[in-house]
Amino acid sequence: MLAITRRVGPVWRGVVRSDQELIGEALNGQAGAFAELAARHRGRVERLCQRFFSDSEMARDLVQESFLKAFAALKTYRAEMPFGAWLRAIVVNLCYDELRRRRRKPEELVGDFTEPELEWMQLVNTATPEEIVAEAEERHQAHDLAHRLLDTLKPEDRMVLVLKDSEELAVSEIAGILGWSEAKVKVRAFRARQALRKHADRMLWAQRRLATR
């Protein structure tokens, strides 16, 4: 007996629509198709925004803005690039703009640390940037402090560090997203690692001074 499928909106029951099919339908005026596309990619977009901003409200706003911008620019999308990569570039550049707008000075980020935070800060002195990122994601108490430390970096350095060490993108992919040369990406990655350690040492030193007052 043949199985019968019935179409509902942009989706066939029992059939997974490809990104390309949904994009085609969205461009033909079927709003439900883009809603399906957004739902499919929302988790990855949320994760990426949260890597750059610990403020959950800020991250939510950027997620919403990313999809609004993607919908508005959908006519410019070209099928030779996976939709997920195209959308990621939009998200990254929105986060980059926001980082540049709200950059804070390192001295503004020093505050009282809890004991777990101090333990994590000690880890920063010996761990690699990759281990720092991984540890921050695994240890809840380190999450806010990790963002506080990342906030000390220049926006360009932070972008490279997160995309390379957290998102695990290749140098060529990062260069394509940011419109940089691969050489610039490599230099920025090196500088970001140096700056991260420098600011971690500075924050620890400032905390020790506060503790001895």
Q: What tens digit of pLDDT does each residue of 50-64 get?
A: 999 888 899 999 999
For tokens 């419109």, name the residue: 179
Q: Which of 177, 159, 172 is nearest to 52 (CA)?
A: 159
Phi, psi of 15, deg, nearest 5: -125, 125
Instruction: Return the pLDDT at 149.
Output: 78
Instruction: Return the pLDDT at 109.
Output: 45
Instruction: Return the pLDDT at 125.
Output: 58
Residue 7 pLDDT level (bands cut at 50, 70, 90): very low
Determine the average pLDDT of the residues in 104-111.
Answer: 48
- Answering whether pTM is above 0.85, one says no
